[in-house]
A and B are shown apart, each in its own frame.
Chain A
Amino acid sequence: MSKNNVRHNTEDLILEIKNLKTHFMLDTGTIHAVDGVNLTISRGKTLGVIGESGCGKSVTAHSILRLIPSPPGKIVDGEILLHRDGEVIDITKLKPTEEMMRNIRGNDIGMIFQEPMTSFGPLHTIGDQIMETILIHNDAANKNEARDQAIDLLRQVGIPNPEQRIDAYPHEFSGGMRQRAMIAMALCCSPTLLIADEPTTSLDVTIEAQILELLTGLQAQTGMAIMLISHNLAVVSEMADDIAVMYLGKRVEFGSTDAIFDNPLHPYTQGLWQSIPSVDGPLEKLVPIPGIVPSPRDLPPGCVFASRCSEFMPGICDAPKPVPIIEAEPDHFVACYLYSNG
């Protein structure tokens, strides 16, 4: 879908998601959690992924690392292409438990989660869990080296007294501290891509700012790419180079942060933006757009946003076929009939 140009030079690509479909087969029906998503992430860049709760952001992220519980979940279609040292690996073709996949996890792609309070095992020290990651991905390292490295990482993420705190248990850390430790763990093998799934949602505002600042700083140091999933428009606009807007398992709009903010095309994106008082004023969190999100269990035919769209065009938007993806301006994609010239 993307033509070669300066920003999305294929050499700079590290992850391409093409037409990804991840479904959950439940007794009560199939949930189309992710239903034809396309994303690209370039080296050293930050991709912001936004959308209301339940639109499939986490399922997309978990699909990349093949962490979807199966059954009931399954990647039914699409490709996830990881560019690594000149080769291209289609992650959807790997078995979740196979060695290649385990090598990618934690090593090429690190991930931090929404829930810092529960993301560490409760019975092992923080240090043990960080060192473990270093040791499984680096056969040459011994315990002492891993420990020194873990202490260094904890210092880098701003944990005071890392020499002592490395032996602390998770319950002895506050939420913000745990998320810092989590970042240290995700970064310990210098991944080329860090997936941050709402890393600050459960933290208070000052801690949130500190964590985001930390991520930006670490990105500048290491040159890693970040896939930042967030509810928070302000966070995304500050951090991201590109933004993907998701709605009900679809990526409805994709473009550079400037393009998405200055020229939002999809009615859903425009709806999100309407809550923002002014360009210079403080940015607010998403306010709900009128109407309710239909259940991903029984998707409407045609455009998934039709039930809430003020621009709805009967006979066109509800035609029972996928909405075409249109490149409305260079590198700015939108899935909406308003922009198809036909």
Chain B
Amino acid sequence: MKAFIVRRMILIIPLLFLISVISFATILLPPGSYVETYVQNLERTGFIMDQGQIEAIYRQYGLDQPAALQYVLWMSNFLLKGEMGRSFIYQRPVKEIIMERLPMSAAIALVSLAVTWLIAIPIGIYSALRQYSVGDYIATVIGFVGLALPNFLLALAIGYWVFASTGRAITGLFSIEYKGAPWSIAKFVDLLGNIWLPIVVIASAGTASLIRILRATLLDEKNKQYVTTARAKGLPEWRLIMKYPVRVAINPLISTIGWTLPFIVSGEIIVSQTLGLETLGPVLLAAALGEDMFLVGSIVMILSSLTVVGTLLSDILLAWVDPRIRFERTRV
């Protein structure tokens, strides 16, 4: 098992390298460097720079160097100092912006994932055990509605409904009075009053597919010989269902974490934009529109890397809970 974890950690390094290269490529991607955009914007406000000033900016950001060298510079700054360059729009270090907003983004993503599971697992189990019951059909319909509705629409609809019935407007993560305030219990309670909406909306998208997967696997597993064996031993029905087929059916869900994470992250971006949440999502959008490429590249790199790491963790978790996979994968 240890060897397996170490091997997977080593395998992940080239992947992270690739992500960093692609992220950096997005920085260099837009036609006309962002310094030109920057200079143009300044010119529009009436401030004209001379050639010397412009070159000074180029040198300051290392932009006069060849691309490979720029990459090395960017990466070594990131690895050694955690610096990721400077945002032209916000006129602040990228690192600061990310550190400010990443925790909330990650929290929303993780809680959404947890909520997805908390909703999907009981419903999936129920649907499989009571196949073709009314409850099974209702779960299926609601699941598909959640899957089919675009996230932003659902967010707007629920937001409007809450506003219409309670007068509370859910925009942003905090009410105005708590926005800049230091953390307190009252502020946390205020956060809870708002944050459920994005979480429900993001979770709704992933729940349906998770229910389908769990239901299908469990329908298959519950008729297997080992379940009959357990029944023939005299185990109570509920206990044997939970211990044997449900355990087996939940394992494939663990391997879905890998591909649901990107959905959750992108869902979070759209929902945050719709609801005006102070997370990385709106920043990424604004930065992309403003060709603030250091910011874009850095956010892309951080989100992609976290997703890859999340996938790795889910892989390790799967091997840990499933002896068959542990056996298969830990053999060299």
Residues of A within 8 A of B (CB): 62, 65, 67, 69, 97, 102-107, 110-111, 113, 115, 118-124, 129, 132-133, 136-137, 169, 171-172, 182, 185
Contact = CB atoms under 8 A, between A and B. Distances in A.
B327 A121 contact: no
Contacts of A123: 244, 247-248, 251, 321-324
B314 to A, nearest CB: 17
Nearest to A107: B234
Contact of A121 (B236, B248, B251): B248
Contact of B226 (A67, A69, A102, A121): A121
B235 interface: yes
B130 interface: no
Give the bracket for the number of chain B residues in contact with chain A. Answer: 20 to 34
Contacts, number: 77
A190 to B, nearest CB: 14
A118 B327 CA distance: 17
A303 to B, nearest CB: 33
A104 B225 contact: no
Nearest to A134: B233
A28 B110 CA distance: 48
A67 to B, nearest CB: 6
Contacts of B65: none
B324 A169 contact: yes
A102 B229 contact: no
Contact of B323 (A115, A136, A171): A171
Interface of B: 223-237, 243-244, 247-248, 251, 321-324, 327
- Looking at B229, B237, B243, the one whose CB has the most chain A CB atoms below 10 A away is B229
Contacts of A69: 223
B232 A118 contact: no
A120 B323 CA distance: 13
Given A104-B234, A123-B248, 17 more contacts: A69-B223, A97-B236, A103-B234, A119-B226, A120-B229, A121-B226, A121-B230, A121-B243, A121-B247, A122-B226, A122-B324, A123-B322, A124-B243, A132-B235, A136-B234, A171-B323, A172-B327
Prevailing SS type, chain B contact patch: helix
23 contacts: A65-B231, A67-B231, A69-B223, A97-B237, A102-B234, A102-B236, A103-B234, A105-B231, A106-B233, A111-B232, A113-B225, A113-B228, A119-B225, A120-B226, A121-B229, A122-B248, A122-B324, A123-B244, A123-B248, A169-B327, A171-B324, A182-B229, A185-B229
B234 A113 contact: no
Given A69-B223, A169-B327, A121 B234 contact: no
| CB-CB nearest 6 A-B residue pairs | A106-B234, A105-B234, A106-B233, A118-B225, A169-B323, A121-B244
Nearest to B239: A136
A106 B231 CA distance: 9
Nearest to B321: A123
B95 to A, nearest CB: 44
B251 to A, nearest CB: 8
